[in-house]
Amino acid sequence: MKVFTTASASRSRGLSAVGAAAASVAIAATTAIAAPGAAGASPQSPSAPLESAGVPPRIAALADSGSLSVESVDLIPEAIAAVSGSVGLPTTVSNALLSTVGGCQSDAPEAIIACTEDQTLTTEPPLSLRVNPANTDIVVLGAGLHEDGTMRPVLESRLRAALELANSFPSAPIIVTGGVPQSGRTEADAMFDWLVANGVPATRITKEERSTSTVENAQFTDEILDARRSPAAVVVTSPGHLERALVDFRKAVDGQRSIQGVVAP
C-alpha cells in the first residue's frame, strides 16, 4: 500500500482549523446519508451508521475520535467505495471527503495526484460552496483570447458555468485568472467584463492578470487566497483541463485550503 502523510504536521505556513471543520461536515453528511435516524431513536455514536453501511471500522472511528489525520491516501477512497456500494454516496460528498482528508489537501505531491485521480469531475456545486459560500472563492481559469482581444468559445463556456455558481451562491467571492494580453486586453479583463455585463457586481470580482500558464494561475491565485485567509476555493474550467488544474492548485496551496472543482460543460 502506498502511504503518504498528510500536511497536518508539516505545513510551513500554519494549520487552519477550517480544513478539519470541512472534513467534519463531510463525515457528518456521509453519516446522515448512509443511515438516516428515525425520529425519537436512541442516539448513536457517529461511527455506528458508517460501520453498518459497510465502512471499515478503522475509518468509521474517525467520526468518533475527531482525529481526521489520515495516514494513507487509500483509506478514504476505500470508505467511499464501501458506502457507495451500499447506499449510493453523492459525488459532492465523496469529493469533499477526498478534498479534505483524502490526500488532496496535502503538501505531498504524490498524495495530491493519487487523490485527484480518485475524484469524480462534475458540474455540481461542491460541498464547500453549499456550507460556507462566503468563504469559498470561485476561481475561473482563463483561456487564450483572439488577436483582437475577444474571447474564444471555450472561455465563454467556463464563464457560463461560473455565472451559474455566482448566481446560486451570491455571497461567494470570484477570482478571474489569466494574463497573456491581446490588443491590450488580458484574459482576466475579458472575464471581468463578461461577468459584470451579465449582472455580477464588480466588487465581487478580483482580477489576477499576471499568469501565463495553469501553474502560474495557481501560484498567483494562491497569493490572493492567502491574503484573504480563504479556507476553500472552487476551480472552474473545461473538462479536459480540470484534473490537471486541480493538481496544480493543490500543489500551490501547500495543504492550506480545500480545493475543489466544477466542470464547465
What is residue 93's predicted lDDT score, i.e. its pLDDT? 78
pLDDT block averages, 10 residues each, the chain of length 265:
32 37 44 44 61 59 50 48 52 80 85 90 92 95 97 98 98 98 97 98 98 98 96 96 97 94 95
CATH of 127-263 given 3.30.70.120, 1.10.730.10, 3.40.30.10, 3.40.50.620: 3.40.50.620
DSSP 8-state class, residue 149: S
C-alpha to C-alpha distance for 250 and 219, rounded to whole angstroms: 10
Nearest to 232 by CA among 254, 204, 256, 198: 256
Which pLDDT belongs to residue 78? 55
Instruction: Provide the pLDDT for residue 89.
Output: 56
CA-CA-CA-CA torsion for 73, 68, 18, 51, nearest 10 degrees? Answer: 100
Q: In the block, which residue shows the cell 478514504?
A: 76
What secondary structure does DSSP assign to 63-104, as a single string? Answer: HHH-----S-TTHHHHHHHHHHHHH---HHHHHHHHHHTSSS
- Cα(230)–Cα(189) distance, rounded to whole angstroms? 23
Cβ–Cβ < 8 Å for 233, 126: no
pLDDT at 77: 52
pLDDT for res 25: 42
pLDDT of residue 21: 39
Dist. CA 228–CA 217, nearest whole Å = 17
Residues of the chain with CATH 3.40.50.620: 127-263
Q: Which residues are CB-neighbours of 191 under 8 A, at least 6 positions away?
A: 140, 142, 151, 155, 159, 176, 178, 207
